[in-house]
Amino acid sequence: MKYYKIILLFFILLSFQSCIEGVKGLQSWIDASNIEEVKGEYHFLSEDGIKVFLPSVFKKHTTEEYKGIIKKLLPSKDFKLEDKRLELLKKMDGNFSVFYDKETQSTFTVNSLPYQPIYKKDAQYLLGMIRMNYENNNKDPDIEYTKVTAKYNADRGPQIFKAVFKIENTSTKIVSYIFTYVISANEKTAWIQLQSPYENGVDDYLNKLVM
């Protein structure tokens, strides 16, 4: 559990919700309702032997490239928060990759971690830590965090924890979602996050994940 505790304490609460505004009218990956409709491409993370399947609109960037993109979109305060989050992610054991969809302003990140099995009790601990960090570290009275779902599954081999939180700015009515996935399989562990203005996650894409 030591890796999860470090991750949660240092960066799970850092997000740049205020930069995401509703993007309407897109016919994109958000419309895929089952795995048969999923279209995209694989990105091979060669240092980890992991293949990530994502919608084609997601482009892989270096950390500095990604910072350059979001710096033009974010207020200074929010950019500083995201910059801090990125630096903490990069300092973790393992490798870090970031993908960005400019059409929906969605960000997908992958941290490969030292292998750590995930058991049901770990999933409960993770959820409790996420909720506690959101509640204890939210300094903005206009921001509300709501748990949408939390699941643990190990029926098909890989051990998967998933949590989804809705973040709403009650003053601006801007809503975004943070999807957190922790997946352990084949002696590998990946911490994956998606931040998006849509409630649709990337579950069907992650079904094609190769570890």
Which residue reads 């506690």 in tokens?
Answer: 132
Is 179 contained in some domain?
Answer: yes
User: Is 10's pLDDT higher than 50?
Assistant: no
Tokens of 44: 């091979």
Considering only residues 26 and 146, tell me which one the structure prediction assigns the higher pLDDT: 146
Considering only residues 48 and 133, tell me which one the structure prediction assigns the higher pLDDT: 48
CATH number at residue 48: 3.40.1000.10
User: Is 39's pLDDT higher than 60?
Assistant: yes
Average pLDDT over residues 123-137: 75
Our count of domains for the chain comes to: 1
User: Is 23's pLDDT higher than 50?
Assistant: no
- What's the count of helices (H) and strands (E) in the chain, helices before strands? 5, 9
pLDDT of residue 54: 93
pLDDT of residue 101: 93
pLDDT interval class at 147 (50, 70, 90): confident
Is 31 contained in some domain?
Answer: no
Is 34 contained in some domain?
Answer: no
Q: Which of 28-42, 145-159, 176-190 has the lowest mean pLDDT?
A: 28-42
User: Is 43's pLDDT higher than 80?
Assistant: yes
Considering only residues 51 and 3, tell me which one the structure prediction assigns the higher pLDDT: 51
Q: Which of 13-27, 76-90, 102-116, 118-132 has the lowest mean pLDDT?
A: 13-27
pLDDT interval class at 186 (50, 70, 90): very high
Q: What is the DSSP letter of 143?
A: E
pLDDT of residue 189: 93
pLDDT interval class at 82 (50, 70, 90): confident
User: Is 127's pLDDT higher than 90?
Assistant: no
User: Is 12's pLDDT higher than 80?
Assistant: no
Domain range for 173: 2-22+40-206
Is 27 contained in some domain?
Answer: no
Is 30 contained in some domain?
Answer: no
pLDDT of residue 32: 46
* N residues, the chain: 211
Backbone conformation region of residue 187, classed left if phi is above 0, alpha if psi is from -120 to 50, else beta: left
Average pLDDT over residues 99-110: 92
Q: Tell me the C-alpha distance between 130 and 178, whole Å.
A: 11
Q: Give pTM, 2 decimals.
A: 0.84
> Taking the chain, what is the end-to-end CA distance rounded to the nearest angstrom?
21
